[in-house]
Amino acid sequence: MLKLKKLVKTYRTGDQALKAIDLEMPEGQVLALIGPSGAGKSTLIRCINRLVEPTSGEVWLDDLELTHLKASGLRRARREMGMIFQEYALVERLTVMENVLSGRLGYVGFWRSLTRRYPQSDVDEAFRLLDRVGLLAMADKRADELSGGQRQRVGICRALIQNPKLLLVDEPTASLDPKTSRQIMRLICELCAERGLAAIINIHDVALAQMFVQRVVGLRFGAIEFDGPPEALTPDVLTTIYGEEDWEATIKKVDDDGNEIEAAE
């Protein structure tokens, strides 16, 4: 359902962030994109919804090629792709409910969005989603009153209310403690399974990725160095992806109570 063909991004500074990436994802697959800082993970997912303009190559979402779409076509295509950010990107002074509903802005008309009048069906769906992620009681709270984990749950609801085909998730747990990180990863993966949703999850924490996904793609210097199941991520492979630096430092193993434990041999 998602196909990247020879995707290249060279920033104006000359940084070659992506070097001819080829990648194919079937319907409903959840994929973790790992790699050291600067490998090109954020650039890759942002080239898919064109928050970053690719330099060359193609992005196919089902039978639609995205890189040449003009404004209105791009707007329609972006509805199919929900995004979840590391820093949540909530509007602080708005309520939880308003933040979730803002995920519908790609659908409601211009005047409606200006006056923030959403159809009742959207409000009902927002309540259902908040209930699903355990935040029903928080609907009227302001975003800035929430904890990090709660804010990320709001970010998840905002992405899902778009009813996307594909989730693009950029370091969803980077600002969270180990226990909350694990809960958020589990929640994202469960929601994808429930809805048959595909997702690309950029994640620095290799152990967390291995726990929850069927497929891991490792990026290094803008190229794919590994593509396979989590069990195939051997120390040698990790050294290829992360270099000779101490990649074990990127592994945080946690037990069921979220306490960090020593990485097993």
Ligand X SMILES: Nc1ncnc2c1ncn2[C@@H]1O[C@H](COP(=O)(O)OP(=O)(O)O)[C@@H](O)[C@H]1O
Summarize as ranges the residues that interact with ligand X (CB under 6 A). Answer: 11, 13, 15, 17, 35, 37-43
Q: 71: Cβ–Cβ under 8 A, 6 or more apart, which residues?
A: none
How many residues of this chain bind Mg ion (CB under 5 A)? 2
Nearer Cβ to ligand X, position 28 or 36?
36
Interacting partner of 38 out of ligand X, Mg ion, none (Cβ under 5 to 8 A depending on kind):
ligand X
Q: Token pair for residue 218?
A: 């490792």
Nearer Cβ to ligand X, position 138 or 167?
167
Kindly list the distances between the CA atom of residue 120 and the CA atoms of 8, 101, 153, 228, in Å, as whole numbers in the listed order. Answer: 43, 11, 22, 43
CB of 220 to ligand X, least distance (A): 9
Residue 86 is a binding residue for Mg ion (CB under 5 A): no
Write down the residue that tokens 């970010």 correspond to: 155
Interacting partner of 62 out of Mg ion, ligand X, none (Cβ under 5 to 8 A depending on kind):
none
Helix then strand then coil, in percent of the chain rounded to 5, is: 40, 25, 35
**Interface of this chain with Mg ion, residues 24 to 53, rule: CB under 5 A:** 41-42
CB of 18 to ligand X, least distance (A): 8
115 burial type by CB count under 10 A (0-12 exposed, 13-18 middle, 19+ buried): exposed
CB 90 within 8 A of CB 155: yes
Nearer Cβ to Mg ion, position 67 or 202?
202
CB 107 within 8 A of CB 79: yes
Nearer Cβ to ligand X, position 44 or 184?
44
Nearer Cβ to Mg ion, position 41 or 182?
41
Q: Which residues lie near Mg ion (CB under 5 A)?
A: 41-42
